[in-house]
A and B are shown apart, each in its own frame.
Chain A
Amino acid sequence: DQQVKQNSPSLSVQEGRISILNCDYTNSMFDYFLWYKKYPAEGPTFLISISSIKDKNEDGRFTVFLNKSAKHLSLHIVPSQPGDSAVYFCAASATSYGKLTFGQGTILTVHP
Chain B
Amino acid sequence: NAGVTQTPKFQVLKTGQSMTLQCAQDMNHNSMYWYRQDPGMGLRLIYYSASEGTTDKGEVPNGYNVSRLNKREFSLRLESAAPSQTSVYFCASSDLNLSNQPQHFGDGTRLSIL
Contact = CB atoms under 8 A, between A and B. Distances in A.
A34 B102 CA distance: 8
A100 interface: yes
A9 B39 CA distance: 11
B58 A43 contact: no
Contacts of A105: 42
A42 B33 contact: no
Interface stretch (B14-22, B62-70, B78-86, B105-113): B105-113
Contact of A89 (B43, B58, B94, B100): B43
B58 A102 contact: no
B100 A51 contact: yes
Interface size class of chain B, counting residues whose CB lies under 8 Å from the partner chain: 20 to 34
B53 interface: no
Most buried by B among A43, A100, A103: A43
Given A34-B102, A41-B108, 15 more contacts: A9-B40, A45-B105, A49-B100, A49-B102, A89-B42, A89-B43, A97-B48, A97-B50, A97-B56, A98-B50, A99-B48, A100-B33, A101-B45, A101-B59, A102-B35
Given A97-B31, A98-B94, A99-B45, A41 B107 contact: yes
A32 interface: yes
18 contacts: A9-B40, A41-B107, A41-B108, A43-B4, A43-B92, A43-B107, A44-B105, A46-B104, A49-B102, A89-B43, A97-B56, A98-B50, A98-B103, A100-B43, A100-B45, A101-B59, A102-B42, A103-B42
